[in-house]
Amino acid sequence: MDLNDVMKMLKDPQALQKQATEAQARMAAISVVGSSGGGMVRITMNGTMDMLAIEIAPEAIDPEDSGMLQDLIKAAHNDAVARAREALQTDVARTMGSLPGFGA
């Protein structure tokens, strides 16, 4: 993509909308897994921060200590969010790197 392409997109709302739609599709296509407790709790999340799945190992479920499971879920969620943000930053950097003045 060169500067002329960028200028054309700015003048063409349909092209700009297409780029936005493509960016959103790329975000939704990103899939990351966050975990805690040595993998006892695993959360799969996409780039739009939607939780796609949660896996909880049976040994993480202790009716006498629900607080531990709550902490494991929060930690796995935070790990998944961090991984999703990292993946998004990589995608943005790759996209920006193709623009004039942003490449390495």
pTM here? Answer: 0.72
Report residue 82: phi and psi, to 5°: -60, -40
Q: Give the pLDDT score at 42.
A: 98
Q: Give the pLDDT score at 16.
A: 72
30-97 is a CATH 3.40.50.300 domain: no
Q: How many CB atoms lie within 10 A of CB 45?
A: 24
Share of the chain above pLDDT 70, in %: 85
pLDDT of 91 over the 60 cut: yes
pLDDT digits (tens, 9 = 90+) for 3-27: 777 677 677 777 778 877 888 888 8
Residue 33 exposure: Cα atoms within 13 Å on the Cβ side = 11
* Whole-number Cα distances in Å, 71 to 31, 44, 45, 65, 75: 23, 17, 18, 10, 6
Rounded Cα distance between 29 and 7, Å, is 27
Listed by start position, the domains of the chain span: 30-97
pLDDT of 104 over the 50 cut: no
